[in-house]
Amino acid sequence: MISRSLLLLRRITRQLWFRVVVISLFSLLALAVAPLLAPILPEGWDDRFGRDAVLPVLTILASGMLAVTTFSLNVMVSAYRTASSMATPRVYRLLLEDTVTQSVLATFTGGFVYSLSAIILFRAKIYPPGSAFVVFVMTALVVMLIVLAILRWIDHLSDLGSMDHTLRLIETRTRSSLVARKETPCLGGCSGEGEPPSDARPIAAARSGFVRFIDMAALNSRAKEAGVTLYLTRLPGEFVLRGRPVAMADGAEESFCKEASGLIDIGDVRSFEQDPTFGLTLMAETAQRALSPGVNDPGTAYEVMGRITRLLWENLPEDTEATKEKARFPHVHMLPVTAQALLKASFPPIALYAKDAPEVMKWMKTSLEALEHHPNTAMTTAAREMCDSYFDKD
Express each pLDDT in 144-172 by its tens digit: 999 999 999 999 988 888 899 999 999 99
Q: How much is the pLDDT for 355?
A: 84
Name the residue with higher pLDDT: 372 or 48. Answer: 372
Query: Is residue 248 within a helix (H) or strand (E), and if so which, with residue range?
Result: strand 245-250
Average pLDDT over residues 231-257: 91
Q: How far apart are CA 341 and CA 383, in angstroms?
A: 11
- Residue 43 class from Cβ within 10 Å (0-12 exposed, 13-18 middle, 19+ buried)? exposed
Q: How far apart are CA 249 and CA 111, in angstroms?
A: 54
Instruction: Report whether 246 contacts 151 (CB < 8 A).
Output: no
Nearest to 21 by CA among 109, 115, 133: 109
Instruction: Report whether 103 contacts 149 (CB < 8 A).
Output: yes
Strand partners, 58: none
Average pLDDT over residues 271-280: 92
Query: What is the chain's mean pLDDT, rounded?
Result: 88
CA quadruple 94, 99, 103, 104: dihedral positive or negative?
negative
pLDDT band at 44; cut points 50, 70, 90: low
Q: How much is the pLDDT for 322?
A: 45
Strand partners, 332: 230
Q: How far apart are CA 140 and CA 38, in angstroms?
A: 17
Query: Is residue 264 within a helix (H) or strand (E), and if so which, with residue range?
Result: strand 264-267
Query: Is residue 201 within a helix (H) or strand (E), and if so which, with residue range?
Result: strand 201-204
pLDDT, one tens digit per residue, over 357-368 is 899 999 999 999
Q: Say which residues have a Cβ less than 8 Å from residue 275's Cβ, sequence separation at least 6.
A: 177, 212, 235, 236, 237
| Entry pTM | 0.84
Average pLDDT over residues 20-44: 81
Calculate the alpha carbon distances from 362 to 74, 92, 303 in Å. 41, 31, 14
Q: Say which residues have a Cβ less than 8 Å from residue 221's Cβ, sequence separation at least 6.
A: none
Q: How far apart are CA 115 and CA 63, in angstroms?
A: 9
Average pLDDT over residues 47-75: 86
pLDDT band at 9; cut points 50, 70, 90: confident
**Percent residues over pLDDT 70 in the chain:** 92
pLDDT at 319 over 60: no
Calculate the alpha carbon distances from 324 to 1, 60, 184, 196, 378 in Å. 17, 62, 9, 20, 14
Assign domain 189-267 to a CATH class.
alpha beta
Backbone angles phi, psi at 185, to 5 degrees: -60, -30
- CB contact burial 286-312 (16+ within 10 A = b; e otherwise): bbbbbbeeeeebbebbbbbbebbbebb
Q: How much is the pLDDT for 4?
A: 73
Query: Is residue 53 within a helix (H) or strand (E), and if so which, with residue range?
Result: helix 51-86
DSSP category for residue 42:
P
Backbone angles phi, psi at 239, to 5 degrees: -95, 140
pLDDT, one tens digit per residue, over 80-101 is 888 888 888 888 888 888 889 9
Single-letter residue type at 72: S
DSSP character string of 274-341:
S-HHHHHHHHHHHHHHHHSTTT--HHHHHHHHHHHHHHHHHSS-SSGGGG-PPPSEEEEEEPPPPHHH
Query: Which pairing describes strands 329-334 and 189-191: parallel, antiparallel, or unpaired?
Result: parallel
Q: How much is the pLDDT for 326?
A: 65
Instruction: Report whether 199 contacts 121 (CB < 8 A).
Output: no
Instruction: Report whether 65 contacts 139 (CB < 8 A).
Output: no
Domain residue limits, the chain: 4-159, 166-185+273-390, 189-267
